[in-house]
Amino acid sequence: MSEQAVTTLRRSIAGLQSAAASLGGEAGFSLGHDAADAALGALRRHALHEVVATTSQAPAASGFIAGLLARLGRRPIVWLRQDAAGMEGGELHAPGLASFGLDPGRVLSVRGRDALAVLKAAQDAFPRGNDRRSGIGAVVIELNGAPACLDLTASRRLALAAREAGVTALLLRLGGGVAPSAAMMRWEIAAAPSAGRVRAHGPGRPSFAVTVSRNRHGATGRWLMEWDSHAYSFTEPLPVALVSAPADRPDRAQPGRVITGLWPAGRRAAG
């Protein structure tokens, strides 16, 4: 990333910081999903969280991150991506972000030439000095594959920067598999069928298969989650019958086996 690009990034961040309304302090945040919240407890804001998905699951991973960001509050967000990210997993999509309750106007999207440029830009994205604990609420670092520059030392720098700046750092790794990391938590995300396709014969809520495979301060586990765009919350899918009701006699529909529904990957929900 050129010096001019870095200067522009710093000015843009400064503008976001000056206009920011800080919501929430150092208190943790929750998902809104009863079972997951009971197991995981309060999630730490000022920490590095790692989100892992295959490249084909980029829409689901972006949607899940958008939901997390909406739960964090209304402060501005910096989302850093590699130049090739759009070709691999789709571009960030403003209406998609808005559908998760995330105002696209407070998302600053930044591109880096490669993974190393993105990591360098991330260090400039975290507030410093008098700007700490105000302004920027979260920094998303999106990387493809398993770049050599993203080693344990690099992730420790991100974790330290997040803690010192008082912001949430979300490291989105697509297609790289699991690697050593200093992240507080590791979330493995995939999409699954939406219950709405069974209930209403049409698109349903965005839904996710979520696995917490690492948690430095608590439990791990697996859950099915739907995103409720009205409550800005992850919820537990309701059981649904696979056998649909006859159009002319809905009261005589025979019950089928019960499943919990999730949303299939399609166009990138948040990109």
pLDDT class for 40, splitting at 50, 70, 90?
very high
| Residue 254: inside a domain | yes
Please provide the distance, in angstroms rounded to a whole number, between the alpha carbons at the two ends of the chain.
23
Find tokens 């829409």 and name the residue.
59
- Please state whether 27 falls in left (phi above 0), alpha (psi between -120 and 50) or beta: beta
Mean pLDDT of 220-234: 93
pLDDT of the residue at 51: 97
- Please state whether 87 falls in left (phi above 0), alpha (psi between -120 and 50) or beta: alpha
- Please state whether 80 falls in left (phi above 0), alpha (psi between -120 and 50) or beta: beta
d(CA 125, CA 258): 46
Q: How many domains does the chain have?
A: 1
| Residue 243: inside a domain | yes
| Residue 66: inside a domain | yes
pLDDT of the residue at 148: 93
Please check the confidence at residue 219 and state whether its pLDDT lies above 70: yes
| Residue 32: inside a domain | yes
| Residue 10: inside a domain | no
A 10 A CB-CB count for 65 gives 26
Mean pLDDT of 135-163: 94
pLDDT of the residue at 251: 44
Per-residue b/e over 173-206, b at no fewer than 16 CB within 10 Å? Answer: bbbbeeeebbbbbbbbbbbbbbbbebeeeeebbb
d(CA 159, CA 171): 10
pLDDT class for 256, splitting at 50, 70, 90?
very low
Over residues 50-95, the pLDDT tens digits come to 999 999 999 999 999 999 999 998 899 999 999 877 777 778 889 9
| Residue 234: inside a domain | yes
Output the six-digit token pair for 5: 């690009």
User: What is the CATH number for 187?
Assistant: 3.40.50.300
| Residue 268: inside a domain | no
| Residue 127: inside a domain | yes
Helix, strand, coil tally for the chain in percent (to 5): 35, 25, 40
Query: 159 and 25 in contact (C-beta within 8 Å)?
Result: no
Mean pLDDT of 261-265: 35
d(CA 138, CA 161): 12
d(CA 208, CA 57): 10
Domain interval for residue 200: 27-259
Full-model pTM: 0.77
Crossing angle (nearest 10°) for helices 115-125 and 3-19: 40
Find tokens 């019958």 and name the residue.
241
